[in-house]
Amino acid sequence: MAQQRRVQLSTLRPTSTVCVLGTELSLDVCGSAPKDAVAFHVQGTPGVKLYVVHETQSVKLPSSVSRWPLAAGAEVLLAMDALSKDVGDEKVRISYFGEAGGVPVGRAMLYLTCVDISLDTDTSRSGAVSRTLLDKATWTWGPDGHGAILLVNCDRDDPKAETPDNRDTAVRSYADLKDMSQMVLRTRGPRTIFAGHRLLLHVDFSDADKVGVFYGGNSVALEEYKHVLGGSKLAYAIKPSRHQEESVFYVEGLAFPDVGFSGLVAFHVTLLESPEKGLLETPIFTDTVVFRVAPWIMTPNTAAPLEVFVCSVDNNEDFVAAVGALAEKAKCPLTVCPLLENRHDRWIQDEVEFGYVQAPHKTFPVVFDSPRDRGLKDFPVKSILGPDFGYVARQAPEGASSLDSFGNLEVSPPVTVRGKEYPLGRILIGSSFPRFGGRRMAKAVKDFLIAQQVQAPVELFSDWLQVGHVDEFLSFVPAPDRKGFRLLLASPSACYQLLKEKQEEGFGEAAMFEGLEAVPKPTINEILSNETLRKFNNYVQSCISWNRDILKRALGLAEPDIIDIPQLFQGDVAAGAEAFFPDMVNMLVLGRHLGIPKPFGPLVGGQCCLEERVRALLEPLGLTCTFIDDYFSYHVLSGEVHCGTNVRRKPFAFKWWHMVP
């Protein structure tokens, strides 16, 4: 339905007003009628379309009825579909008649100027701004959805700048402008009409701290771009140029969706009419556009790797070399974070999570910095934040626990669950559930993840582990069949089964940890007869089985989608569990190349029986297993290969706005 505005008329003096293309004016014929009038006649110049609404029937003029009774509720509607060449070049005259008819008892004249005012964005999500018949004031999800998209401008295009671009009110480069979304104001019609009216671009108070708007006038020079809207600036008066019909504004997002912010932001352009000097202006037309701020999106293990990160510390040269060799096999660049930047902190998986943001016109990676803040705390800002590489962080004012490290933040590949599609997968985080009073992920981090909407988080139980991260008992690897992946779960029962098999084959005296200095070397027989260890692993298995059931429900998995990786744990219920030998599911996945912690299992026929079993489980999927020795450099410090590495991956081909959360 067209935007409609009521116009008061007068029989004492002519009235002038503006009609915006695509809108209707409702003329108050009764309000201006002389007291003895009982009927009216209306006529207009050719550029005006007139309708009389009488007893709820709408009749287009001219019609066979020339006079209409002045009944309550009678109104005249008008619309115009061509721009005026001059101010007041179209008119409408209403003549009022008394009982006797004959000569009119009064006349009201209305002079009209038709202009076009339109605020447009990339509503159709094509990557370019265009005029559209779609409803610009609403935002809808799905492949047939519409509504513009805004990126949080959280990269740093000027290397000399102190802060990310969303924390300043300057345009520092053309690259900075390219991260923003365009909003185009079109004004057509006689230019003098705009001198007597004001055009305001404005944003709601509740949205003002979430956006910044820049305007360069008719100039392309960077220094001409001024911050005109956002923060404390709620409105900007536009002076339409005499020569230009379009004004291009650049809009940046300042904040990601979060608690209290759905991600939707509205902008309005309003035309104000000033009736007389000293009187307040009145709004006569408003156009509204809505943007949604693009969410931060995680990428799963199964996505193609683009860059591998590892830290160089005092005793891990061989580990760094092994990760480098694997990255080379996978044709993936390696970035080594030096000691000076990591300050003896090797756990790069725990400090950051790599994701991305995307709009139809632009995609760039964004690193999410955890509240953990140990030696690596400055690395994301100093070394990763840069041109087209964004940064976002959340703090834990209540104090960070181990569960706030991002080894405790994973995402599944795309899944369909009971008919509901999750084309970007589902986030997996560990918690103390079903135990009360345990550790939990910081509220700020969890709230942020939920608010992104596109990767609905699933809470798993990880507080049974000493460190407490989900990557200690699960991983995903690509597969050529079924859902395109397998879920790998650490499995004490699969490990006991394997060891029992080897014992029955006569290898009971084969020992663990051969070749490792100063490490006790229990045999298969000793492990199988250790009742305390077995009881503890029964408890661990029940914790993992609980998660298995949650994962099957939440990700729509069946048993053939899951592979049990033999693994034993040690510890006690109070202190929590840690891996008895290097935790093989805590692996680095680079396409079909897997970097798996070397388990140092019992040698059977010169081969580690644990490695052999894992190869037999994974190689039929077309995967290549490389076992990396992380025993002294990571394992004894309560982490493994995945904990000590990180990967920036290729964004999904699927566009997030095509989903329905």
- Residue 38, burial from CB neighbour count under 10 angstroms (0-12, 13-18, 19+): middle
Please report, as a single letter, which amino acid is at residue 591.
Answer: G
Report the relative pairing of strands 235-238 and 588-590 from DSSP bridges. Answer: unpaired
| Beta-bridge mates of residue 578 | 570
Check 114, 154, 337, 643 and give the catalytic one. Answer: 643
Answer yes or no: are the C-beta atoms of 122 and 129 closer than 8 Å: yes
Please report, as a single letter, which amino acid is at residue 117.
Answer: I
What six digits make up the tokens of 42?
A: 């209306």
Of 596, 659, 660, 656, residue with least CA distance to 626:
596
Q: In sequence order, what are the residues at sequence separation of 6 or more whose Cβ sits closer than 8 angstroms to the Cβ of residue 442?
A: 371, 394, 395, 396, 398, 400, 401, 404
Round to whole Å and give the CA distance between 431 and 434.
8
Answer yes or no: are the C-beta atoms of 402 and 439 closer than 8 Å: yes
Round to whole Å and give the CA distance between 652 and 658.
12
Listing DSSP states for 58-109 in one string gives EEESS-S---EE--TT-EEEEEE-S--SSTT-EEEEEEEE-TT-SS-SEEEE
Please report, as a single letter, which amino acid is at residue 140.
Answer: T
Map residue 284 onto helix, strand or coil.
strand
| Beta-bridge mates of residue 309 | 335, 646
Round to whole Å and give the CA distance between 406 and 401.
11
What six digits make up the tokens of 384?
A: 């990763």
Of 293, 291, 298, residue with least CA distance to 356:
298
Round to whole Å and give the CA distance between 320 and 334.
10
Please report, as a single letter, which amino acid is at residue 92.
Answer: V
C-alpha distances in Å from residue 645, one per residue of 60, 108, 311, 345, 578: 73, 80, 8, 12, 19
Round to whole Å and give the CA distance between 256 and 358.
12
Please report, as a single letter, which amino acid is at residue 465.
Answer: L
Query: From the CA atom positions of the chain, what is the Rg in Å?
Result: 34
- Residue 173, burial from CB neighbour count under 10 angstroms (0-12, 13-18, 19+): middle
What six digits make up the tokens of 386?
A: 């840069």
C-alpha distances in Å from residue 412, one per residue of 192, 422, 457, 589, 649: 60, 10, 10, 13, 14
Answer yes or no: are the C-beta atoms of 416 and 372 closer than 8 Å: no
Angle between helices 531-555 and 492-504 (to 10 degrees): 130
Residue with tokens 């140092």: 600
Answer yes or no: are the C-beta atoms of 71 and 79 closer than 8 Å: no
Report the relative pairing of strands 562-566 and 485-491 from DSSP bridges. Answer: parallel
Answer yes or no: are the C-beta atoms of 191 and 161 closer than 8 Å: no
Question: Is residue 30 among the annotated active site residues?
Answer: no
DSSP-H helix ranges across 457-587: 492-504, 524-529, 531-555
What six digits make up the tokens of 316?
A: 């891990």
Please list the active-site residues.
Answer: 643
